[in-house]
Structure 1
Amino acid sequence: MTPDPDVLLAVRDLRVLIGGRHILHGVDLDVARHGVTALLGRNGAGKTTTVRGILGLVPRAGSVLLDGEETVALPTHTVVGRGIGYAPEDRGIFAGLTVAENLRLAERRGAGEPAYPLVHELFPELKQRARQLAGTLSGGQQQMVAIGRTLLNTNRLVIADEPTKGLAPRVVAEVAGVLERAAEAVPVLLVEQNLAVVRRLAGTCVVLADGRTAHRGPAQALLDDAEAARRLLGVGHGPPAAASRTAHASSPTAEADS
């Protein structure tokens, strides 16, 4: 099969078996070389497991091509070294360390000079709060740290898992802006339950159901199709475009992934 020049990450027939239980039964997805690709689905559809499968954090089978190179048999540290940054669902912030120390821990050996100018250009607040303990930051500021860490190294892809989960609407808008700026520098695979954020950021989307790919296509088209959104995500019509630009609406897909 000839690789698609517009696709950075191509996942085919990704299967995950944990404790004798099949979690993923054959996930297919493509992540574009530019912008944001959203990974959606109902509760327990397998989104977080898919992310973990891509990174090699769980036993996996199938094919995971990063820029045409197979990674499915590689250990996680090698996959990350190939250029994937990961902002996990719980952010993974060290609360007792400063912002600067959290960033310093993310520096990857042998990856060249850390891109602090880029991180500080995108998120000037991190430079201003360099000496502040990360545990005293707001949820949105902590998300800046989590995403900033993924941009310090020369990554080809950033994966952000549920970055707005549990945040107040005002902070959701702040985090959406963080992701929007990050996507200008590197493509993003976004696992997200807030459809206003998806509408604002994502060009394409992949929907999972029961550990399989149920839909792939333009994000806007899916969210504009009330019947498809209800069938695939369990919600009605998404918020209007004007509201989505501020990403204040909650519009969850009611999930807490497995």
Structure 2
Amino acid sequence: MTTASEPLLSVRGLRVVLGGRHILHGVDLDVAPAGVTALLGRNGAGKTTTVRGVLGLVPRTGSVRFAGTETVRLATHDLVRRGIGYAPEDRGVFAGLTVAENLRLAERPGAGTPDYPLVHELFPELKARARQSAGTLSGGQQQMVAIARTLLNGNRLIIADEPTKGLAPRVVTEVALVLERAARAVPVLLVEQNLALVRRLADSCVVLADGRTAHRGPAADLLADTGATRRLLGVGSNSPAHEEADA
């Protein structure tokens, strides 16, 4: 059980070796029990691998404490049951199914009654489009479905991996509103390269470099320091800083 002053997620010395190659060399990060924590870094810094390590999707060592309990030896399905929701980079929406069917597939047996009232309160558009094929939705609307699925089962943390990657600026604005609404209900770990979005949403940030933690602190402080953003991210603090891929 965490208190208001303790991190909901605390990662220490996270290491990942894949195919004999050391991807993560000791990542440290904390996610507060409220608001948005941004995970930043240049292309190949190890952000997606860090998320996969937290979720147990790759072999890892170190410490991953969630809600006060060590979870590094737990399987992914056990972590999901403990309340971690994941919105993957590609959104994972089933294009041939309706919005309602996509949400229904996310209902987790044993998690209690799915919280459709919360989903429809935050995203009334999904209720109005329940019978619409998800493949006909805009990128922003599909991201809405992806985030909504993580809210159905009473999750305590949402991990959103590159939710604006490849989206037009107008759609990025839609996604920002989606994440803003979601973060009012559940804390979010946001993997992102759009610094304007980070500035708008994030309270704190963690920056990775070469598979290690290079910076931790308030997001506003980092983004106010042009020299630091150029040194750590290779861009000015006013750049959207989209990247094409990550290790």
CA contact (8 A) 2:195 2:237 kept: no
Unaligned runs of 5+ in 2: none
| Residue 196 of structure 1: how far off its partner (Å) | 0.3
CA contact (8 A) 1:44 1:255 kept: no
Aligned residue pairs total: 246
| Residue 218 of structure 1: how far off its partner (Å) | 0.4
Distance in 1 separating the partners of 2:135 and 2:186: 27
Name the residue aligned to 2:203. Answer: 203
Name the residue aligned to 1:251. Answer: 240
The question of 1:129 aligning with 2:154 is answered: no
Name the residue aligned to 1:87. Answer: 87
Equivalent positions of 1:206-245 (< 5 A) are 206-238=206-238
- RMSD value over aligned CA atoms? 1.3
CA contact (8 A) 1:38 1:204 kept: yes
Name the residue aligned to 1:183. Answer: 183
| Residue 4 of structure 1: how far off its partner (Å) | 8.1
CA contact (8 A) 1:41 1:255 kept: no
Distance in 2 separating the partners of 1:256 and 1:50: 14
Deviation track 1:48-97 (CA, whole Å, cap 9, x = no partner) reads 00000000000000000001101100010001110000000000000000
Name the residue aligned to 1:31. Answer: 31
Q: Tell me: CA distance 1:3–1:179, structure 2 relative to 1, closer, same or farther (3 Å).
A: closer
- AA at the equivalent of 1:107: E
| Residue 252 of structure 1: how far off its partner (Å) | 1.1
| Residue 163 of structure 1: how far off its partner (Å) | 0.2
TM-score by length of 1: 0.93
Distance in 2 separating the partners of 1:17 and 1:163: 26
Name the residue aligned to 1:244. Answer: none
| Residue 251 of structure 1: how far off its partner (Å) | 1.0
Distance in 1 separating the partners of 2:55 and 2:206: 18
Distance in 1 separating the partners of 2:51 and 2:236: 26
Name the residue aligned to 1:97. Answer: 97
The question of 1:160 aligning with 2:160 is answered: yes
Distance in 1 separating the partners of 2:96 and 2:70: 38
Deviation track 1:235-254 (CA, whole Å, cap 9, x = no partner) reads 1132xxxxxxxxxxx61153
Distance in 1 separating the partners of 2:65 and 2:171: 34
Distance in 2 separating the partners of 1:116 and 1:91: 20
Distance in 2 separating the partners of 1:198 and 1:215: 15
Distance in 2 separating the partners of 1:68 and 1:78: 15
Deviation track 1:99-150 (CA, whole Å, cap 9, x = no partner) reads 0000000001100100000000100010000001101100000000000000
Equivalent positions of 1:23-62 (< 5 A) are 23-62=23-62
Name the residue aligned to 1:110. Answer: 110
> What SS does the corresponding residue of 1:121 show, helix, strand or coil?
helix
CA contact (8 A) 2:161 2:190 kept: yes
| Residue 6 of structure 1: how far off its partner (Å) | 3.1
- AA at the equivalent of 2:40: L
| Residue 5 of structure 1: how far off its partner (Å) | 3.1
TM-score by length of 2: 0.97
> What SS does the corresponding residue of 1:184 show, helix, strand or coil?
helix
